[in-house]
Amino acid sequence: MNILTQLAEKLQLQLSVIYDGVEIETSYKELSLDLIDMMGLNTHCVEPVPYANHWSQKDMILITYGDSFLEEGVKPLKTLDSFLEEHIGESVNGVHILPFFPYSSDDGFSVIDYSSVNESLGDWSDISAIAKKRKLMSDLVINHCSSRGIWFENFIKGEGKGSDYFFTASPDDDLSQVVRPRTSSLLRPVETEKGLQHVWCTFSHDQVDLDFRNPEVLLTFVSIIRQYLDAGVRIFRLDAVAFLWKELTSASINLPQTHEVVRLLRTLIEHSEPEAIMITETNIPNTQNLTYFGNANEAHCIYNFSLPPLLVNTLITGDCLYLKRWLMSMPPAQNGTCYFNFIASHDGIGLRPAEGLLSDIEINTLVNTMQSFGGRISWRTSETGEQKPYEMNISLFDALQGTVEGEDKWGLERFICAHAIMFALEGIPGIYIHSMLGTRNDYEKLKNTHHNRSINRHRWDYSQLERQLANTSSSHHTVLARMLELIDIRKKQLAFHPNAIQFVLHLGLQLFGFWRQSSDRKQSIFCVSNISKEDVELRLGELNLISTDTWFDLIAGTPVTNLNEVVTLSPYQTVWLTNIMLES
């Protein structure tokens, strides 16, 4: 049996799971052949290697908008490329350009046209130019699209492509179980040529949800994936994918059909481009998030959404209990899968992934502390109808300017400590552009947009940024230099491979530590951070360092001369103690 026949049979089986109980006009066999044709697999089809890791310790992703840097007379994507070449260089080999398509709201996540680049940013040649130099990650905004796009216009007219792409329901339906990430009403009434209809809007009334019960919607998104692959995209971020499949009288989140769609898309992508990977963006409680690994047959990577709130909570309380408990509970990602670690993003610090890990009292303390540092809070309606904090909107640099006791002098060291922890953890690190630069809360943009998330979506005047980065006394210069220093150390260590062994260390509540070991078992790294604003003693004897090895602190660049020594760690100091100094 040849590879195409095997692929077609696998797709038919996956389609039978997705559309079980749904009346569709074409057979599973015909639909599978359409999918193969749409992806161009008739002319180029590769057999994927199971459980292959398409990443190493050298991989890291910079997260940025296409217009994070503005330069007079220059398209923002070209300015972004210049920034990457001039200030990031080879330190970071991947870039996630947040939605770069024409859009109507939500800073890009309400897509009007999936096939075009927003003219204000540049064009496809600018995207491809960046993709030739770095691993390019693109959003696949798959759950919903803009109400101002041609698809929705055709839905209102009742004819043309898109006229049957949207999920509708009745206000009389039982929708009480539906999980909502927003406080707006779920259904939006729309006058159409067919009369009044109520379209499903998980997020906002400008973001109308697509109906994957219609196979044409699936085929359309497969054609979009093909276009992005041709443009050089190698990492697909499936935005809000947990909400993709809806069923009345259900929670309409994480349904079996959603998981099967993810598996099908992985099947198509890995047969087309073996190095391409998928990351699912599922901002949900931790146990639910983990299910998107499947059996190494769904997402290659999942966002470690619990890390940001737990790490921030650790650093503002000086107590690592909850972070340590969570890390001990996290299963190692099997080969072929990987965690995607981050502590800041274009969105805020999500609180749903902390549910069940932090108590309501601890979450409220965290929320109140972020508000005292200038942050804003976004809310959601819970299953019981009460308002609960959904997300903390604040720049990470401001979030770590103090503790529950208030602001202090340790903000920079606390901020660097957070990244030293994140860079060393099992997984691929993702760094938000404003963390790389130490950008502060943007109150002016918040005032202009009235959207809480705008506080951490600053657009830099590029000439002003250049002056800041050239000034050695500037905090932005200092942050970038120290971040790149840590990154360059990390990239050389085999024990920091995203799938290298990891064990949590028990060193009390003020020292957060874990041990990493390379797959060949030759390199070990003990990663220990003082997460408090007091000097704390680290007894090296408790680490059981092998006495026949020579040990070094990678960050300080100094040898460890006495394995029984008591080392005093300054507030928020991190040590990476290794038995092998790798230089390349």
Distances (CA, A) of 372 to 393, 399, 401, 524: 12, 9, 10, 40
Catalytic residue numbers read 239
Are 267 and 14 spatial neighbours (Cβ–Cβ below 8 Å)? yes
Q: 398's torsion region: left (phi>0), alpha (psi -120 to 50) or beta? A: alpha
List, as one string, the DSSP characters of 446-471.
Answer: HHHH--GGGGG---EEHHHHHHHHH-
Q: 345's torsion region: left (phi>0), alpha (psi -120 to 50) or beta? A: beta
Q: Tokens 């929320």 appear where?
A: 367
**Which amino acid appears at position 350 of this protein?**
G
Angle between helices 3-18 and 28-38 (to 10 degrees): 120
**Is the four-CA dihedral 244, 245, 248, 251 of positive or negative sign?**
negative
Helix (H) or strand (E) run with residue 124 in it: helix 124-131
SS (H, E, C) 196-220: EEEEECCCCCCEEEECCCCHHHHHH
Give the other-Cβ count within 10 Å of 296's Cβ: 16
Provide the 3-class DSSP secondary structure of residue 403: strand
Give the other-Cβ count within 10 Å of 385's Cβ: 7
Tokens of 353: 């992934």
